[in-house]
Amino acid sequence: MDILLADDEKAIAVTLKDDLEQCGHLVTVAADGLAAKAALESRRFDVLISDIKMPGLDGMELLPIAKRLHPEIEVIMITGYGTIESAVQAMKKGAFEYLLKPFYNEEIVHHLRRIAELRDLRRENVELREELSGRYRFENIIGRSKAMQEVFRLIRTVAPSESNVLIEGASGTGKELIAKAIHHNSLRRNGPFVAFSCAEMTPTLLEDSLFGHERGAFTDAKDRRKGLFERAQGGTLFLDEIDDTPMSVQVKLLRVLQERQIERLGGEETVPIDVRLVAATKVDLGQSVVDGEFRPDLYYRLNVVPLRLPPLRDREGDVRLLVLHFLARYGGDRNYTVPEDVLEKMERYSWPGNVRQLENAVERAIALAGESLVLKESHLLADQSRQASPGEADLIRTLEEARRDAEIKTIRAVLTHTGGHKAEAAKILGVSRKNLWEKMKDYGLEG
């Protein structure tokens, strides 16, 4: 990264500059606050490392100037005269970290590594937001996978027609969103969109919901009531869970689709209807026909245009897009992020509850985040941990995770053997003392 180091102590500036450049950073040194201000006004820096006590302009005055000139810059404050009050003041002004002199240069390197990780997350978020606002969004449906791009293409093709559509997909895949997209891209877009689930309803109640009733049709029928078909006149009727429809109602649905008219319960008058039907099923409806659970003639009427929604596990690349979408939906004005290693685990998880399960996981993680803007793996993948059988979770991991665990065990064993003597431990491990210190810091083995 491009770093501006502002410190009037030449010995600190020289040694810290050398160490940071050895790590691959580009470092510009300013001998006082005014020189640092001039450098910030001349060009952009990724990070400012500033002493607090400097001639001309102190670090506390330089901090807000840096943030005003470059809002994305991160600032590390260093001082030999630290107080709790000054630390709090620096953090309120936007400092990333506050360090007391003397400090190991490796501490600065560690914090720069954290800053780099945050910058990568922010950059990826920007790229994903651009994708979300562009070609990977269709209505309120998110997807850049080949499977979802094919779904989008099919929606654009069939939406302008009047053909019935049968959407097949597991629970949580977003079947109602697809039905709405078909409606809003059809010639019926100015008409009503009426959605209804046929699940777990008695035949009489389902008939009443679909076709309505006349006054006096049954004990509680005090007034005429329009059914779903009449309410959807000129628009689209979406019937979800069509596979749960009782056989007696299937017969009447077939008649409606053939004759384009209905009769209310308790009535003799026929009512013409002008409705496009989009149905959805969570099971293979063709197999239900074979099993004798669904009428073949109704199935063929519904299945004019079949549209299959893929489960989330088959939508490569979509988990990241969806996570960002749900972060924006539930995060309000807070800029929540998910660590890269957690995102990778989320992409490998099967998500049996599909998009709905992922949405619930993000909403839950935000609710449990407290003041932190970085969401926790334990909250995002709580469902996965509950599903894993004893010992299985330890086996399902990346090579990087396996290497990390092996290194932690080896370092601990060697440190125990040397009685905590780090120089001797580094010699046995075949690494430099600096490299061992960095690994211990990364793995939380300091002390």
12 falls within a domain: yes
The whole-number average pLDDT for the span 4-25 is: 90
Range of lowest pLDDT (9-23, 118-132, 252-266, 297-311): 118-132
β-sheet bridge partners, residue 194: 237
Q: What is the pLDDT of residue 240?
A: 92
Sign of CA dihedral 329, 332, 335, 337: negative
Dist CA 392 CA 20 (whole Å): 42
Which of 280, 310, 340 is at the close of a domain? 310
Question: Which domain CATH number covers 366?
Answer: 1.10.8.60
Q: What is the mean pLDDT of residues 387-407?
A: 56
Residue 409 lies in a domain: yes
131 pLDDT more than 80: no
Please tell me the total count of domains within the chain.
4
Contact present, 350 and 313 (Cβ < 8 Å): yes
- Whether residue 134 is predicted with pLDDT greater than 80 in this model: the reply is no
153 & 290 share domain: yes
pLDDT value of residue 390: 40
Burial 396-416 (b: 16+ CB within 10 A, else e): eeeeeeeebeeebeebeebbe
Does residue 301 sit in the same domain as residue 378? no
Examine residue 109 and state whether it is found in any structural domain, yes or no: yes
Q: Looking at the predicted structure, is the pLDDT value of residue 393 above 50? A: no
- The verdict on 180 and 298 lying in the same domain is yes
Which tokens sit at 66? 């840096």
Place 128 in a pLDDT band, splitting at 50, 70 and 90: low
Q: Would you say 105 and 76 are in contact if contact means Cβ atoms under 8 Å apart? A: no
Q: Tell which phi-psi region holds residue 446, choosing left (phi > 0), alpha (psi between -120 and 50) or beta.
A: beta
The confidence score (pLDDT) of residue 125 equals 66
The pLDDT mean for the chain works out to 85
Residue 437 sits in a domain whose CATH number is 1.10.10.60
Instruction: Say whether both 251 and 319 belong to one domain.
Output: no
Which residue among 270, 286, 310 closes a domain? 310
Kindly report the CATH number assigned to the domain that includes residue 114: 3.40.50.2300
Q: What is the DSSP string of 72-120?
A: T-EEEEEESS--HHHHHHHHHTT-SEEEESS--HHHHHHHHHHHHHHHH
pLDDT range class, residue 138, cuts 50, 70, 90: low
pLDDT value of residue 65: 92
Q: Per mean pLDDT, which of 199-213, 275-289, 410-424 is the most reliable?
A: 275-289
User: Cα dist. 328→41, 90, 140, 336 in Å?
Assistant: 33, 29, 13, 8
Residue that terminates a domain, selected from 266, 285, 310: 310
Same domain, 82 and 149: no
Confirm if 73 and 66 have CB atoms less than 8 A apart.
Answer: yes
For residue 423, the number of C-alpha atoms closer than 13 Å in the C-beta half-sphere is 0
Residue 113 sits in the same domain as residue 197? no
Task: Point out which residues pair with 2 in neighbouring strands.
Answer: 26
Task: Say what the pLDDT of residue 188 is.
Answer: 92
145 found inside a domain = yes
Is position 279 within any domain?
yes
* Contact by Cβ (8 Å): 314, 177: no
**Residues 23 and 117 reside in one and the same domain:** yes
pLDDT reported for residue 93? 86
155 and 289 belong to one structural domain: yes
Q: What is the pLDDT of residue 395?
A: 45
The per-residue pLDDT for 281 is: 93
Note the pLDDT tens digit of each residue in 98-107. 888 888 888 8
pTM (whole model) above 0.85: no
Residues 297 and 383 in one domain: no
Q: Is the pLDDT of residue 307 over 60?
A: yes
Fill in the DSSP letter of residue 9: -
For tokens 């803007």, name the residue: 373
Residues 163 and 47 reside in one and the same domain: no
**Residue 414 confidence (pLDDT) above 50:** yes
389 lies in the same domain as 404:
no
**How do 47-51 and 74-79 pair as beta strands?**
parallel
In a domain, 133, yes or no: no
Read off the pLDDT of residues 182-239 as tens digits, 9 standing for 90 and up.
Answer: 998 899 989 999 999 888 778 888 888 898 888 776 767 677 788 899 999 999 999 9
The pLDDT value given to residue 385: 56
State which residues form the domain around 323. Answer: 313-395
Give the confidence band of 405 by pLDDT, cuts at 50, 70, 90.
confident
Q: What is the mean pLDDT of residues 247-273?
A: 89
Assess if residue 335 is contained within a domain. Answer: yes
CATH assignment of the domain containing 294: 3.40.50.300
Q: Are residues 306 and 317 in the same domain?
A: no
Please measure the distance between the N-terminal and C-terminal CA atoms of the chain and give it in whole angstroms: 29
* Per-residue model confidence (pLDDT) at position 386: 55
The reply to whether 134 falls in a domain is: no
